[in-house]
Amino acid sequence: MSQDTALQRAAALEAGANAYLAFYSSMTPLTLGQLDTVTTSDVRFKDPFNDVHDRDAYRKVLEHMFATIGTPRTTIVHWGWAAPERVFVLWRFSAKVPVIGDWQVEGMSDLHFAADGRVNAHIDHWDASQSFYARLPVIGSLIGFIRRRASGE
């Protein structure tokens, strides 16, 4: 790869990372159409609740989020390159969730980029058992019991 080609590719990846993070942190139901410009058609999205493998399925996950929870907001805390085509992102997510109420979780995303700078994998890592399931009325009691037994309390 020539130096010019490598610089062009690096510039495309940097621009793609900035575009995706700007989209993700300011996303609303009205901006979901921008998903086409920041992701590949075969993008994979994975979190503790979902594992989908194309843009339409990813859009449906996001549409469902907006339809079922109130005022979702993602704040990017920090991000950095982990490899030429990978970015790790620390984030804070908050929303109003039925049954739970105000909810906040911190996590990390592993973003993989195609050569053109669009995201082709977005894999979220966060503790659903502690931050979500444990707050549900019946399930939360059971998780608390299991956690106490496992820790020897």
Q: Please write the tens of the pLDDT for every residue from 29-84.
A: 999 999 999 999 999 999 988 999 999 999 999 999 999 988 899 999 999 998 88
- Alpha-carbon distance 53 to 28, whole Å? 22
Residue partners of 131: CB distance under 8 A and separation at least 6: 103, 105
Q: Which fold has domain 3-126?
A: Nuclear Transport Factor 2; Chain: A, (3.10.450)
- Tell me the whole-structure pTM to 2 decimals: 0.81
CB atoms within 10 A of CB 104: 11
